[in-house]
Chains A and B, each alone.
Chain A
């Protein structure tokens, strides 16, 4: 019987520690979620979409069967693309092409290797740079960012910015 007692305590200790770890991670997950911006704007200030638009998109996605056709962040079905990876790749190619046309008036493919490399390097910094601005609802937004105090859903995420100059120009439904 004494052996049981030790094993029971061991099990209880394991459960206490492991659920503490899982719980702590949950706090981390909640605190560090990728922000859904209150709004996404172009550099010229045009609003492309709002927080609610993105969540409306999430429900639209659910209604197609969501993870049962294609995947998001790798989670879901293996048939049809990973929508995240596929979207990102298409967007990047579109950005390069638009940037090439802006700079040289030709499609990206027609540029020489040096110019291509220069644009690719610009692409990296444009995309990796975080232009999301986290502000309390009441404080003014910095220059360049659009102010949006209408109905802040969530007190800390009232205004935001991005977004790359030309990437969203040719946006169409897939």
Chain B
């Protein structure tokens, strides 16, 4: 934290009013009830803040439901699943036959943006983690006055969202002309270019806003609109949030212009319809983040904030990812369209069943009543069910490599999709469930167990997915492109190993020790200075450096691979290995 985090004495006084009120709600019983407004959170023995009866009962129910859910899924799968006859793989990759459209060729800059922001985000992450060791300095240099923890952490999170979203946008924009029969809708390239520059304006503009806000250069009255909302994942000022929403709506427009004509054609369009639906949902549901304002009650703000964050990551993104991959592989002629459609539709139902009401698992202790906790606990247990059995999907993706000789050229994107399934199982499924039952979250909410889940699930799943999409698009928009094995091996395994090390050698051990402290003394103690500044915890925070360095090496390798691809001199057509694409050059 920087010195003088809030310069105005009057505002500091106000700040304590707010803190006082949140503490009042946490210790005061609801009318006609034996639990407090926050369902007895935080753990505080002095005022009998212990887990409520409902908390324990619904936690047990959620574990039972999880087991039942997995059991029924396996039964349903075993009895209902029919192995589709695999189509004979085409001789040449169908995606290279149509030739590139101008809008697809314009995607190189998106790919560069993805990896550039990725590098920026990872370095910021290491820098921010360093604050947990040294406090205000970076190897002795006092940096906190300019780039305090609050700012670098804001950028770390915002950048993650930006680069992952850019990867998704690029994948969608690559697919739009493919869906449209290999040609651009009118002015598509112009639209793609405009969206890119709008994205740049959004990133730079919102970051300047964050900086001026945290530095308190910006007047307080503008803070919410242009500076920093103060809410995790939606830190950007409200104006920038609206710009982002408009950008997503514009992306949706570009996508639909490619998709709508395809609906007029003959053939089975069910998979396309699902892809279109998930695209629309991604575009529009960001809008729910506009349903609260600066002075909205914090509980109501939380409700809408999680509509955006949760419904995206555990609902529409999952459906979009599954369907987009199914669409790509069936367009390549590797899987039967019918099989891909059935699987996508069924998994969409499965994801949404747990995912939608599961939103409430973020609100157990945010000023809500017991029924909200109960619904959150039960449905979010179901959320984990499909994740646990993702091994099958991983194996299917893995196997695709051998389906045709030309699949060798997209081996690395496929590896990323296998990593997505792995981290979805471990990071979202296992670590997600670790913090999910109300009784667990009661003690470990806000401890280092949460970043275990956050890193393993957000980077592990959506990070690898965005990298996979980026590499896939790269391979197709650069004719004759092939991956550099050495660079890719370093990148892929560096990222995976770095993530494993970060979690197992630092975050998880710290989280478990904090859990013990929270259980024995109280939440205040597990987060307090006395506990956190013990030598052993200080050492564990230092140890994180090793994993982080491995991860950074992986990041740089991926960056280098994309730079090599995007900026490689275009070779004359004759030398290009993929004949059909070369013809289009």
Contact of A59 among B44, B270, B295, B371 (CB under 8 A): B295
In chain A, what residue has the closest Cβ to B518? A85
- The docked-state distance in angstroms from the alpha carbon of A40 to that of B522 is 27
Which residues on the A side are within 8 Å of B18 (C-beta)?
A: 54-58, 60-61
Query: A81 contacts B14, CB within 8 Å?
Result: no
Query: B23 contacts A15, CB within 8 Å?
Result: no
Contact of B297 among A22, A33, A130 (CB under 8 A): A33
Against A, the Cβ 8 Å flags (1 = close, 0 = not) of B346-360 are 101100110111011
- The docked-state distance in angstroms from the alpha carbon of A130 to that of B30 is 7
A143 interface residue per 8 A CB criterion: no
Query: B46 contacts A89, CB within 8 Å?
Result: yes
- The docked-state distance in angstroms from the alpha carbon of A3 to that of B359 is 30
Which residues on the B side are within 8 Å of A166 (C-beta)?
A: none
Query: B19 contacts A89, CB within 8 Å?
Result: no
- The docked-state distance in angstroms from the alpha carbon of A80 to that of B150 is 10
Q: A65-B214, A82-B523, A88-B23 are in contact. Are A32 and B369 (CB under 8 A)?
A: yes
Which residues on the A side are within 8 Å of B496 (C-beta)?
A: none
Query: A128 contacts B28, CB within 8 Å?
Result: yes
- The docked-state distance in angstroms from the alpha carbon of A14 to that of B346 is 11
**A145 CB to nearest B CB, Å:** 15
**B81 CB to nearest A CB, Å:** 12
Which residues on the A side are within 8 Å of B216 (C-beta)?
A: 63
Against B, the Cβ 8 Å flags (1 = close, 0 = not) of A151-174 are 000000000001000001001011
Count of B residues near A, CB < 8 Å? 103
Q: A60-B11, A88-B524 are in contact. Are A171 and B16 (CB under 8 A)?
A: yes
**A161 CB to nearest B CB, Å:** 12
In chain B, what residue has the closest Cβ to A132? B28
Q: A65-B230, A82-B527 are in contact. Are A92 and B44 (CB under 8 A)?
A: yes
Q: A18-B356, A65-B154 are in contact. Are A26 and B149 (CB under 8 A)?
A: no
Q: List 13 A-B contacts (CB under 8 A).
A: A10-B346, A22-B357, A28-B368, A32-B368, A54-B21, A61-B230, A62-B228, A62-B230, A72-B19, A74-B42, A88-B47, A128-B47, A173-B9
Query: A65 contacts B228, CB within 8 Å?
Result: yes
Query: A63 contacts B359, CB within 8 Å?
Result: no
Which residues on the A side are within 8 Å of B15 (C-beta)?
A: 57, 60-61, 64, 173
Query: A22 contacts B360, CB within 8 Å?
Result: yes
- The docked-state distance in angstroms from the alpha carbon of A74 to that of B18 is 15
Query: B17 contacts A57, CB within 8 Å?
Result: yes
B232 interface residue per 8 A CB criterion: yes
Query: B230 contacts A173, CB within 8 Å?
Result: no
Which residues on the B side are within 8 Å of A171 (C-beta)?
A: 16
Give A contacts to B, CB under 8 Å. Answer: 1, 3-4, 7-8, 10-11, 14-15, 18-19, 21-22, 25-26, 28-30, 32-34, 36, 40, 49, 53-69, 71-89, 91-92, 96, 120, 123-124, 127-132, 134, 162, 168, 171, 173-174
Query: A58 contacts B47, CB within 8 Å?
Result: no
Which residues on the A side are within 8 Å of B41 (C-beta)?
A: 73-74
Q: A33-B299, A63-B227, A65-B228 are in contact. Are A130 and B524 (CB under 8 A)?
A: no
- The docked-state distance in angstroms from the alpha carbon of A76 to that of B235 is 11
B365 interface residue per 8 A CB criterion: yes
Contact of A22 among B42, B294, B356, B365 (CB under 8 A): B356
Which residues on the A side are within 8 Å of B153 (C-beta)?
A: 65, 68-69, 77, 79
**A29 CB to nearest B CB, Å:** 5
Query: A66 contacts B12, CB within 8 Å?
Result: no
**B279 CB to nearest A CB, Å:** 16
- The docked-state distance in angstroms from the alpha carbon of A77 to that of B153 is 8
Query: A19 contacts B348, CB within 8 Å?
Result: no
**B521 CB to nearest A CB, Å:** 10
Q: A3-B342, A65-B151, A73-B366 are in contact. Are A53 and B17 (CB under 8 A)?
A: yes
